[in-house]
Every structure is written in structure tokens, then in C-alpha cells.
Chains A and B, each alone.
Chain A
Amino acid sequence: MISKRYIFKRLLLLVPVLFGVATLVFSILHLSPGNPATVVAGQQASAEEIRQVEQRLGLNDPVWVQYGRFMLDAVQLNLGESWVIRKGEPVTSVLRWKFPITLELAVLGQIAGIMFGIPIGIVSAIKQDTITDHLSRVGALSGISIPIFWSGPLVILLFSVSLGWFPTSGRLTQRAYEGGAPQTTGALLVDSLLEGNIIMFIDAAWHLFLPAMVIGIYSMALISRMMRSSMLEVVRQDYIRTAHAKGQGRKITLLKHGLRNALIPVVTVIGIQFGSLLGGAVLTETVFNIRGIGMLLVDAITDGDYPIIQGTVLLFALVFTMVNLIVDLTYSYLDPRIEQ
């Protein structure tokens, strides 16, 4: 069993992680060329206006004072105000409503990837070097080779434009609900259920289906590859051979003894590639015009809205760390031999 103390120790490590990322993020702004004040004040601002902005943002203070202030603010969850995209709005409140959109998409994509990737990998390993194996390996390679920003549009063209089964973009059909979208958690699937609005839930799921599938294909490809090779790796180990020699059928042996052990490296891959999934979300959101964190980051880089960039990077680091904590706990569950 996993002790509470262990989990607490892990959570305590979040402090140095966030300190490190905050420091990194501070340097991003101060390494980039150009005067932030001109970005904030706008291209046509007068010298006087720019001086005022510099004063307000404290850009005239010595750099270590700025660093200290940035870190103190960050501790109090104050990441500053957006400069361009949502001018004047606190970064935390922008992220608060953007993040659930992306998380919802990434989690659904991850679920799709696991649901398809693990069975495909197992079948591929059991039927090694048969047509099935070759087909699923080429399929997995294609999943990695085909960029999301190509498969996404193709999927839209086929299922939305030609067949009309799914909407082309966005998160909801405007007519499906009256009044604004509910804002409890920010994730539509959860919110609509909380409100008991089944129609909206179906509408949201209908909009999320294609983007989640497109993200899922990529992680499916990675997971099935890892599952296959890790399954084959486990098979070579002695106890499987022993079980085999004792007269158990090959497939039964594999599934009975191999699966649990083979899953361990796969879980690592799932944890590690959750980060790439967030990267994939940047592309997928752009393709499907879903205004989540990914599109926010792209817009922020384009417009030089550094507080938003900083906030997004911090948030990504936090999520990535949490996912790896979960992965770590899953290990201990899968293999009690891995000591805590």
C-alpha cells in the first residue's frame, strides 16, 4: 500500500520544481530582446507613455529587485497581468478558464491512446512477425509519421465536410443551450453533467470526439510500440520460459505472467509522453480552433505577451509533475518490489 507520508514527500518536492520553473520563466522574459514597455504601451505610444509603463512595471529597478519581486508575487499566485491578448486581466484568471479546456482534450486523447494502444501492442507481440504484427507496426509508425496538422484537417474534411457527421470546429453548437456556457470547472463535459444538462453534454462530446481522436492516434502509436517491445522483452526472461516449459500454452503464459510486468515501462512512457500530448494539444487546438491553453500560448508568443507565456510554462510544469507523481504511484501498485 502507498503510504500517505510517501505522497506528502512527493508533493513537497513541488516546491523546488516550481521555484526552478519560476526562475527559468523569469529568465525567458529578461533574455528576450526588445523593451517590454513598448509591447505593453503599443507601437504608437509616446516616449512619455512608455516611461509611465516602465515605471508601473518596475522595469527601471535593478534586475535582482525585479527577480525578488517576481518570485514573491509568484508565491502568492500573482503572475502579473496579460500585456496584449487580454490586456489588464490577471494571468491566473486567464489560465483558470483556458486550462480545463486543454486538460479535457488531453485526458480524452490519452484515454483513447491507452484504450487502443495497449491491446494493439499486445496482439502485435503475441503474433510477432505475422501479417497482423507488420500491419500494426506500420500503423503505429504511420501514427508517429503523420503530423497532427495534416491528419486533423483530413479528418475534418472527411467526417465533417463530406459526411457531415461531426462539427468542423469549436466546443459547442450555439443553439444547444440558452444563456452562457456553465462555468463551474471550465471543462464542458463535467459542467454539463453537474448541471444535469444532457443535451449540452452530448453536444460537447460530439465536438470533442474528432480532436480527441486525432491526439489519441499519436499517443496510441507510441504506447503500442512500447507495449510490443516491452512484452517481447519480458517474454525472454527466465520465469516465462520456465512457465512455458512447464507446459503452459504460449499465449496464456504471455498474458498471465507477462502483462503485468510488461506494463511497467509502458506506464513510464504514458507519463513521459503526456508532455508531448500537451505539445500535441497546441497543434490540435489550432487545427480545430479550440481556444484552450495551446492556442493561448501560440498567440502569446506571436504577440510577445510574456506574462501569459510565463504562466503557461509554469502551469505545464505543474501538470507534468503531477502526472509523473501519478505514474510513480502506479508503479508501486504494479510492482510492489519497487521500494518506496
Chain B
Amino acid sequence: MVTVVSYTARPRRLLQALLLLIAAALGVLTYALVGLGREGELPADLMTISIGAGVLIVVLQIAVMWRAPFADPVILPIGVLLNGIGIAMISSYDSAVNKFTAIHAEYAGRQELWTGVGVVLAVALMFALRDHRMLRRYTWIFAVSGAVLLLMPLVPFLTDEKYGSKIWINIAGYSFQPAELAKICIAIFFAGYLVSRRDTLALAGPKVLGIQLPRWSDFGPILGAWAFCIAILVFETDLGTALMFFGLFVAMLYVATDRLSWLVIGAVMFLPPAIFAATLLGHVRTRFTCWLDPLSRENFSSCEQIDRGLFGLANGGLLGKGPGGGRPDMVPFGHSDFIYTTLAEELGMIGAFAVLMLYMLLVQRALRAAVGISDGFGTLLAAGLGFVLALQVFVVVGGITRVIPLTGLTLPFLAAGGSSLVCNWIILALLVRMSDAARRPAARRVDADASASPRRPQEVAS
């Protein structure tokens, strides 16, 4: 005989405060060590940085205690630590470029500014969004916003073509990557759409060769969304983002339907665009060559970036050169696309693996919230957001270490780039909100439902 037991999660707010403090301290320590390692003296703005970090963690802690008192205690500290290490590594790149080359680089300051913006937006979201299920009401609005955001770089007067990709827009002098925000919108859309269709997607439809195929009427809109994403991103020639959206799409379908057949269908759907891109698009063909054989004599010059990245990783070795001791200026885009080589060169394999562990823990917490949450929409959204983070880390680190062909994605929280950082903070706020819902004890859940959303759509009746 079996019985069902419920465990209540403990809020652990004090532990979160402690972890936030340690995370901020480690970030500031890394920043200080970068100055000590490169110039032999503490950075001039160390005091400002410390105070800024202190203010941000106090704001985060208060916001969580006030608005999400049962939230997961480790999500925000991990975000703060990754962000802090990222700023330190970018400052290392800056100082190396300023010291060893004639170019002047100033990316760390911008990153600090964007961190502030990201944290403020995350806190605002925690206050504005009392219940993640409110997002489900706007499923189709998010679909349209995601589509518009993805289309924006194709608009002639907004576009800002850089490095062969039309994924940037330029508003009032600031470059922005709308695909980052679109990622969140599309995740919400998929979650809202799939939660109402998952039973028909999983059960109705013909069975071919032991694989349950969906009905065309269920499949159509999703296929449309997929084709839309892929088509736009091929026109914008950014395959990393296309891969990210496609992975999100397949993962969320799998979570929604619990059918392995979707992974098979996903792989089948992915092959034609991949083969097309690898054979017909010149720059993708180069990526493939550089993946398989970057160090040979004939490929060496065309694969310079990945080669330099590999030399950086080798220079770091097991223990690393210490913060401020590496030469990240030797690697093109050592502050953004190739921040991982900067990190691995300066902290070594041991430090880089610690950072990868942090990512794994963050993703695990997202998936844990997805399992614990009591509504299907929350499950799908948390799983989708967690999966996107994991996929980004895999694609970036895998590309740099030659596990897969290199594609241009950003490493969450580490890479320099305002849009990516701000969107990752928004994702973190959503995860905090959902983990709060997942861990809230049952009695309080009733109270919150009664007061927060009186006309919540009846989950049971749908």
C-alpha cells in the first residue's frame, strides 16, 4: 500500500543572505585580484564596486523577503556570483588590451551599469508579477511580441549589422540584441500554448512505426512558429540563435508531452537546415572546418579566433595564470563571445569547472522548480527557461572547446553585453517567482490565490 506525502520546503532566507554576501565578496575579490595581477595595485574603483555590489545584494534580499519569501535560496546568489566573476574577467580583458595594445577598451564599466539595470528590472518584475500564471493570459501577446522582436533587425532604419549578422538593432546610439528578449517571450508563448494542447499532442493522431505523430491541426501552429524562427534567423544569418530557439522548441515539446518521439521528430527537423547551412553557407562551412581541423597549416589563418582561444585555454592549464595574469587581449572577443577562454586562462581548469558547476546548479534549480510547481504552465516555463540557460552554456563552451562547431551565443551572466545580461536577470526573476510558487506551503497558497488573482482561469476546468 502506498501513500502520498507532502514535504514543505523551508524558506532559508538567512542562508540566502549569507550566500549572497559570499557571492558578492568572491566577485569583488576577483575584481581586486585582476588589478593586483595586472598592475600590481588595487583597482581605483574597488570601493565603488564593493558598495555597488553591497547595495545590489541588499536590494535583492529585501525584494525576495518581501515579495517571494519562499523562493529558492540559491538561485540569486549563483546569479550574483557569475555576474561578479564576469565583470572581473571583462575588466581583465580591458586592462590587458589597454596595457598591451594601442586600442582602448572600456567594457567593464558598461557591464557594471547593465548589471544595475538588470537587477533593478528583476526586482521590479518580482514586485509587478505576483503570480507567474498571469503570464498565461497573454500567451498570444507574447507570441506576437516575440515575433516582432525577432523581425526588428530586418527593419532598414533600425538594423545595425555587425560581424556578418543582422541581429542587432540601434536605438538612440545603444545597440540591443532583440533575440535575447524574444527568447523569453517565445518561452512564455510555448508554455502557454503547449499547456492547453499537450494532451492532444501526446495522445491524438496516427501512430507510424511505433511513433505517435500529432494531428496536423495541433502541429500546424508550432510548425509555423518553428519555421518563422528558422527563416528569420537564416535571413539574419545568426545560427547560434536559431539553434537556441530550436532547442527550446524541442525541449518544451518533450516536457509537455513526455513523448520521446518528439526528440526524434526534432532531430529529423533539425537535419535539413543543418545540412543546408553546412554545405551552402560559406561562413558555416568555415565553422565546420574549424571545428574538425583548426590547427592544420591550411586552416590556421581562417580559424585564428578558435586557435587563439585554444592557446589561451592551454596557457591557463590546470591552475590558471591567476586573475590579471593571462593575456585575454590575444583572443578576439575575449570579453564577450570568448569570455570562457579568458576565464579558463586566468582561473585554470579548476576555476572554470567551478563556474560550470554553478551553471549546472542554476539549471538544476530551475528544473527542480519546474517539477515542484503545481500548474502545467509553470512547469513548462521553468523547464524551458532552465533548458535555454543550459543550452547556451553548452553551445558556447562546447564551441570554444571544439565539442561542437562554434556558433555565436553569449555565455549567460559572464559575457559582456547589456541585452544578454538584462534578459538573464529577467529570467532569474521569473525563476525566483516560480520557485516561490513551487515551495510555498499549501495553506499559504490558498491565501495567496484568493487575494492575488481572484479571476484566475480555472486550471481544473480547462
Co-complex (A, B): no
